[in-house]
Amino acid sequence: MFASSHAPGTSLQAQLEFALKWEGVNLGVLSALFKTLDRTKIERIVRDKPTGGYARRVWFLYEWLTNTRLDLADAGKVTAVPVLDPARQFALEVGHLSRRHRVRDNLPGTREFCPLVWRTQALEHQIEMNLREKALRVIGRAHPDIVRRAAAFLLLADSKASFGIEGERPSQDRAMRWGQAIGEAGVRGLEVDELQELQEIVIGDARFVALGLRSEGGWIGKRDRTTRDPVPEHISARAIDLPGLMRGITEYATRALGSSMDPVVVAAALSFGFVYIHPFLDGNGRIHRWIIHHVLARAGYNPSVLTFPVSAAMLRGTERYREVLSTHSSQLLPFVRWRPTERGNVEVLNETVDLYRFFDATRHAEYLYRCVEETVTRDLPHEVRYLEQHDEFSRSVQRQVADMPEDTVELLAAFLRQNSGTLSRRARRREFKLLTAAEIERVEALYSSCFSDLESAPA
């Protein structure tokens, strides 16, 4: 809240200046406003204050958002100001100098796609945690073979979790193929043809799904029990708007990753922007989470030897994940006019592209940072510790009990883990019937000693 002494005047100029000074840039609101204004009103603001920083920012934003040129001469020699205040909103480090307006275009995206993120206390705290360095310290203390095996486990775990979020249980082969795609994130780009290749991997049998960009409406929700009409919880971007939005995603990635913007913030804006657009008929959710890996890998945020299993963190906290998605979708729905089609789809009746181009991704960035933090402080050290304990158990069994193949030790450890450190009667009679009672007692003691911290053993 502001004191009454801060109240702006009632003129358009005063209102815009107050908004930019105290409320930051809201591209969606400005775009809607500029569509209703006579362009001469903006020209008058600039002519009244030709050297004013706020006037020049308004001028730039008007021409940038509307893609029109006002009847104004280029600005004279005056100090350039940034379009976004980098102390308030995440922006490009420098930005391109617009000589016409004498402003630095530090917007992370283009007019086709440019979600923005505020610098909140939560985000500043999360950035200061330096999670990448924490991850490097964890793997730096471990043997390279342990790191390699932990990375392989976490990669497959992330793949399975990404399917699990969608309510699917993939075969081992399918999970491994998607895991391989995740492991290659950061290599390919975000162009539609690249993402379509990922869609083919995700879907597997594509005989009944049209691949590539949708040519019809898209929605998520339920159906009316009587009419079978859609009851949407989310309505996707119109098919006609998809090519421009997807170009915007690619350009945002190029601009933001080419600057010093925080990688987790960039990953949140791109990945959640993609899933709200929902450009494909199927596979959007898993590709949305793949984009997170792509951005973090391309930016060099996660150590090159491993992938942060953010999908596993999302699956553990599914309610929180869905709440982030549904809260934003519910805010969009009142601005979308639609009707059901004869084929049971939705037809959007109004212009909605700005809802997907320009949105506040602050909450999404905070959420994604919590997921990354969870993977770095929980999943990674727990898996490393588990493998160290397992290797210690294996060596102890080999030395003190019997010379077993590694696969047999793996099975033994699995049975003990499933039964809280005790070998079940079934296992004693069948898989490990060759062990004596004394040997079994020794195995259980070794397991208890090696896995003293049982929480680090994965379920």
The percent of residues above 70 in pLDDT, for the chain, comes to: 97
Nearest Cα residue to 390 out of 172, 150, 71, 168:
150
Burial class (CB in 10 A: 0-12, 13-18, 19+), 265: buried
Nearest Cα residue to 138 out of 308, 312, 12:
308
How confident is the model at residue 292, as a pLDDT?
98
**Which DSSP letter does residue 37 get?**
S
- AA letter at 369: Y
The pLDDT of 311-322, averaged and rounded, is 95
Continuous segment of H or E residues that includes residue 459: none
Burial class (CB in 10 A: 0-12, 13-18, 19+), 419: middle
Nearest Cα residue to 233 out of 343, 325, 115, 100:
325
- Return mean pLDDT, the chain: 93
What is the spatial distance between Cα 211 and Cα 317, in angstroms, rounded to a whole number? 30
SS3 105: strand
What is the spatial distance between Cα 238 and Cα 216, in angstroms, rounded to a whole number? 8
The two tokens of residue 138 are: 């964890």
Continuous segment of H or E residues that includes residue 314: helix 310-316
The β-bridge relationship of strands 230-235 and 103-105 is unpaired
CB 339 within 8 A of CB 347: yes
What is the tens place of the pLDDT at every residue in 88-127?
999 999 899 999 999 999 999 999 999 999 999 999 999 9
What is the spatial distance between Cα 428 and Cα 434, in angstroms, rounded to a whole number? 8
Rg (CA), the chain: 27
**Tokens 């029990």 sit on residue:** 225
- AA letter at 375: T
What is the tens place of the pLDDT at every residue in 48-88?
999 999 999 999 999 999 999 999 999 989 999 999 999 99
Beta strands in 333-408 (DSSP E): 338-340, 346-348
The DSSP-derived string for 47-92 is HHSTT-HHHHHHHHHHHHHHT---S-PPP-S---EESS-TTTB---
For residue 457, name the pLDDT band (cuts at 50, 70, 90). Answer: very low
How confident is the model at residue 459, as a pLDDT?
41
The two tokens of residue 217 are: 């409406």
Q: Which residues pair with 195 in a beta bridge?
A: none
What is the spatial distance between Cα 329 and Cα 236, in angstroms, rounded to a whole number? 9
What is the tens place of the pLDDT at every residue in 380-416?
999 999 999 999 999 999 999 999 898 999 999 999 9
DSSP count for the chain of H helices, then E strands: 20, 7
What is the tens place of the pLDDT at every residue in 254-298?
999 999 899 999 999 999 999 999 999 999 999 999 999 999 999
For residue 456, name the pLDDT band (cuts at 50, 70, 90). Answer: very low
The pLDDT of 200-206, averaged and rounded, is 82
How confident is the model at residue 211, as a pLDDT?
86
- AA letter at 448: S
What is the tens place of the pLDDT at every residue in 358-374?
999 999 999 999 999 99
Q: Determine the length of the chain.
A: 459
Where do the domains of the chain lie, and which CATH numbers do they carry? 4-105 (no CATH), 121-381 (1.10.3290.10), 401-456 (no CATH)
